[in-house]
Amino acid sequence: MYGLGIDINKINRRIRFCNYLSVAQIFLQDNFLLNRPLEFADVKPRLLGHWGSCPGINIAYANLKARFPKMQFILGPGHGFPALQANLYFDGDLFNYYPDATPNLHGIEYVCKNFSWPYGFPSHASPMTPGVIAEGGELGYSLATAYGAALGKPEKFITVLIGDGELETATALASLNLNKLLDSNKNGHVLPILHLNGYKISAPTIYGRSSERELLQLFRGFGYDPVIVDGTDTEAFQTILNCLNPNTFIIMKTPKGYTGPKEVDGIKIEGNCAAHQVPLPNAKTDRAQLAMLENWLKSYNFEELYHEFAYEN
């Protein structure tokens, strides 16, 4: 246990659960609990989705939810939808709207099979997503949406995850000025978190190549109190959440595609732009990639987490 009754181990287990479920949504159409060796037939015929953003989203969501259970969460890079969906499923929020999203094998199958599937869930956050007010398909609007949602609602606590690629857009960058327009007595608290995973689709981000000093000065110039945290250090993340002030701006560093494959066909994946979409695109036909996928899934030891989480009707 840590400070205010926060259980670091529980947060880390939730992150593992949601990472597994993010990968499973992208790849699996069967054998969701890996009860038998993974086969080509278990892999979806058309691999769609974005892995790279998911681990950082899962880290941010788990840390924020543990500390602020009633927060409103706004996701800038809506392409990281498998992670958002995994968290909504984990908390039972999805079940409230989709009764098939039960906390057992049936629910896991439902969530995975329907990701990016005709008549299922889209590959991005969408109006079908419970609580969504920013779709995120077009980058740039997350911070403005957060400040808008806070207007006239002093009781609200709004967290917003901004992609570092997203923050290169004019809209997101100009939205950094909005903190100057909100009277904290009349409006809700907005906590911005920059998801500094260093890469956008196929290249490094400007902020990923900036020095810490440049980053801190940039956000200080906009009137924030910036603080840098290593997202992979849950204890450090919780320490920062324990000492927020109205101007805190969190810069959360994670390697893009963290916990995913390190290298595929000689190309660096984890911590590189190559993690952005589907890191093992030939998993349905290439035995080596299938084996890598199986090892990747097994690395989360999901079975242990599943037994804690699931109930069977």
> What DSSP string runs through 212-246?
HHHHHHHHHHTT-EEEEEETT-HHHHHHHHHT--T
Q: Which is nearer to ligand TPP, 76 or 188 (CB)?
A: 76
User: Which residue number, 8 or 47, has a Cβ lying nearer to ligand TPP?
Assistant: 47
**DSSP helix/strand/coil, 254:** coil
Q: Using the minimum distance from each CB to ligand TPP, give the nearer residue, 26 or 38.
A: 26
Rounded-to-10 torsion of CA 219, 225, 231, 235? 170
Output 49 or 188, the one with its CB closest to ligand TPP: 49
Q: How far is the CB of 276 from ligand TPP (least distance, A)?
A: 6
Place of tokens 């960058």: 173
- Position closest to ligand TPP via CB: 163
Secondary structure letter of residue 60 according to DSSP: H
2 alpha carbon, distance to own chain's centre: 23
CB of residue 34 to ligand TPP, shortest distance in Å? 27
Cβ distance to ligand TPP smaller for residue 148 or 204? 204
**Residue showing tokens 């606590």:** 157
Cβ contacts of residue 152 below 8 Å, gap of 6+?
A: 186, 187
For residue 83, the minimal CB distance to ligand TPP (Å) is: 10
Q: Report in angstroms how near the CB of residue 31 gets to ligand TPP at its nearest.
A: 28
Instruction: Give the residues lining the site for ligand TPP (CB under 6 A).
Output: 52-53, 77, 79-80, 137-140, 163-166, 169, 195, 197, 199-201, 205, 256, 276
Cα separation, 229 vs 232, in Å, equals: 9
What are the φ/ψ torsions at residue 211 (nearest 5 degrees)?
-75, 160
Angle between the 8-27 and 105-114 helix axes, to the nearest 10 degrees? 50
φ and ψ at residue 174, rounded to 5 degrees: -65, -30
Distance of closest approach, residue 125 Cβ to ligand TPP, in angstroms:
12
Minimum CB separation from ligand TPP for residue 209, in Å? 13
CB closer to ligand TPP, 140 vs 260 = 140
